[in-house]
Chains A and B, each alone.
Chain A
């Protein structure tokens, strides 16, 4: 018990005199979280630049262009006279897509044949092209349905009968859990804990690794011994853990209640998981420092594990689409499990029973890493000649 308190005081004194170290667990995380929230605060991208090649110059083709421009996600910025010109603009990314309307477009439709409009989209910019495909498809679909309905009305079918016989089986697309495809909720909410995960692992590696670099391990751990070391580790990580968890909880409350987003799940459960994610990240960083006995190597390792954690977590690209070995790696990372739990609660409103195992796993991982870290530090303590590695 004594070792915990002593170590806690030592860490508090160190934070008080080192503005860099204090910043990295207080206002820097706060600023980072605020920056991420700011990036996604618009929620949904609008007015993506699209060009038009209108070879028809009819009132129908102009109507289509007007309809496209009226779609919130699309903005018609350029009219090209030739496909070559359009292609040059696509290559220079002046526009993200080009809609081409063929010659005789209106006449073909009038004669009762099918006319084809083409959307050339820059698939190398996947987010942009995905949004544009959806919006352009909707606009063209609306135009097409309007023409069909008018034609059938002319033939004497009643409006109601037309609607049914046009599309005998309707599909109603329901995006469960994220109704408006709001990116503030989808990406912003997932990236904030990812950022804190990196910061926590860095902080764990830093605070323990620094004692090794400065050859102050003896000062910190006193006489040594496994029990005392394990206690000292708890005391040392307590303050960074409290600070980073607090930042995380502030962000969680801010992005949900603060933005009027009443998530269907249990916010307390997410808060608990976030506190555990911070704990597991800090102990992982500390264990890395204990094992490598080098601040520099531990930080490099923390970067290697934590920095790409978001990219491989299944949020941006699903786990099911990864090769087996890569998926095994992704599932060994704590963030992957945390974010699944967060999405289940904040978006899907899943019952708590589905994520009890995640909570237990995070807890077990923290305990295991704590044991590993304490053991590694006990061994390091016996070998003062290995301290001071850079």
Chain B
């Protein structure tokens, strides 16, 4: 790394045939540590690095507190049931709300339940009583775990009380249960049965990783060619070069679809042939866009400088972590110019949900259209530069 590297030092005349152009571009990539790191190193590294944070998938035992101002068997029953809930863990029982609030600010707990004084007395007398659940709404997942964890504990205690009362009025146990909740809701989680966070986010982010690394690698390679004048080449040469970029991109794609998804046991393999068709359309569109960007920037390192921050906004218009329904209308249109938008949607359907190819066909068509568009733009720009160079 500390030695002087000059990947563009030897200017060889651009090769003629498609096959030779492909081989020569592959050889260039293999000799260029920077491009190789982006095209091979980064996808492999991220394949392990990114899922590492979400290994546990589901949030369990979120620390909470119970502010018990009642001190009766009923309030202790609520505390016990809350502690038994897998979502939360009661770390502290106090009589003062202030203490719980301070623990919340210090980050020791993420929420607390407030059991009012005279809870049991109110219940016995048939008056209404309210247990207030205060969770940290600034963190969505923690909030959900605390709310549902406590609500279930309180609900169970409450239902027990009510059913006993109904039985006292002469109803049978099942009857009492039915008249308590005439309409019950059963919720079934499809495709990601444990509702794991990693299973949701990594398969979609994989498509973004594939796009961003290939985009930067292709633009860096093209930028280097521009610096040494090798971008002035015939159409066949350029097609060979794109094919070389695609070869590596396809390899990374297969690495994710075929191995990383399996390794981490993410929902996968719904429609393997469809997923291959997706890679066939997705990778060329990115490679052509990357080369086009490199041609425009004309500098080896510029692509990294300009593209690194774009991953964030691109992730949130792709339609997986943030519902498209909430995007402003112009963005709903503009986002289709990014290959990742169609790529994420098609991959979700083909890899995770196992939809037939027809369900993903519109996205594949968009990708093909983008690929053709970028490739034509690339060839035109390269030819134009070629002509300009000759006229000097």
Contacts and interface: CB of A to CB of B under 8 A. Distances in A.
Given A168-B123, A176-B136, A47 B2 contact: no
B227 to A, nearest CB: 9
A173 interface: yes
A133 interface: yes
Contact of A42 (B158, B224, B327, B352): B327
A177 B127 contact: no
Interface in B174-232: 175, 177-193, 195, 197, 199-201, 203, 205, 220, 224
Given A173-B151, A295-B301, A348-B138, A123 B161 contact: no
B194 to A, nearest CB: 8
B182 A170 contact: no
B340 interface: no
B183 A347 contact: no
A137 B131 CA distance: 20
B301 A48 contact: no
A302 B308 contact: yes
Contacts of B34: 296-297, 300, 390
B355 A296 contact: no
B138 A178 contact: yes
A109 B183 contact: yes
A164 B126 contact: yes
Interface string A369-390: 0000000000000000111111
Contacts of A36: 312-313, 316
B349 A178 contact: no
Interface string B4-33: 111100000000000000000000000000
Nearest to A315: B139
Contact of B192 (A93, A124, A147, A343): A124
Given A296-B304, A322-B56, A91 B353 contact: yes
B359 interface: yes
A121 B185 contact: no
A179 B132 CA distance: 14
Interface stretch (B47-55, B236-244, B246-254, B256-264): B47-55
B315 to A, nearest CB: 9
Given A112-B179, A122-B353, A293-B2, A168 B185 contact: no
Interface in A163-182: 163-179, 181
Interface string A271-304: 0000000000000000000001111110110111
A71 interface: no
A191 interface: yes
A320 interface: yes
Contact of B161 (A43, A127, A169, A350): A169
Interface string B142-159: 111001001100110110
B380 interface: no
Nearest to B175: A112
Interface in A218-256: none
A321 interface: yes
B279 to A, nearest CB: 20
A39 B135 contact: no
Given A91-B354, A120-B188, A348-B138, A168 B158 contact: yes
Given A92-B349, A170-B131, A326-B55, A386 B3 contact: yes
A144 B321 CA distance: 32
A332 interface: no
Contacts of A116: 183-186
Interface stretch (A1-9, A198-206, A360-368): A198-206
A115 interface: yes
A144 B177 CA distance: 13
A119 B187 CA distance: 5
The CB with the most chain A CB atoms within 10 A, among B58, B130, B138, B353, is that of B138
Given A32-B313, A35-B313, A299-B304, A127 B4 contact: no
Contact of A39 (B59, B308, B313): B313
17 contacts: A41-B328, A92-B355, A93-B348, A127-B323, A130-B140, A133-B187, A164-B126, A168-B162, A178-B138, A186-B138, A300-B38, A318-B62, A321-B56, A322-B56, A348-B136, A389-B4, A390-B6
Interface of A: 20, 24, 28, 32, 35-36, 38-48, 64, 90-93, 109, 112-131, 133, 136-137, 140-141, 143-144, 147-148, 151, 161, 163-179, 181, 183, 186-187, 191, 194-195, 198-199, 202, 206, 209, 213, 292-297, 299-300, 302-304, 306-308, 310-312, 314-318, 320-323, 325-326, 329-330, 340, 343-344, 347-348, 350-351, 354, 385-390
Interface of B: 1-7, 34, 37-38, 42, 45, 49-50, 52-56, 58-60, 62-63, 104-107, 110-111, 119, 123, 126-144, 147, 150-151, 154-155, 157-158, 161-162, 165, 175, 177-193, 195, 197, 199-201, 203, 205, 220, 224, 267, 300-302, 304-306, 308-309, 311-313, 316-317, 320-323, 325-328, 331, 345, 348-349, 352-356, 359
Q: List the 9 closest pairs (A to B, CB-CB), nearest first.
A: A175-B137, A178-B137, A92-B359, A123-B189, A45-B326, A299-B304, A123-B192, A144-B183, A114-B178
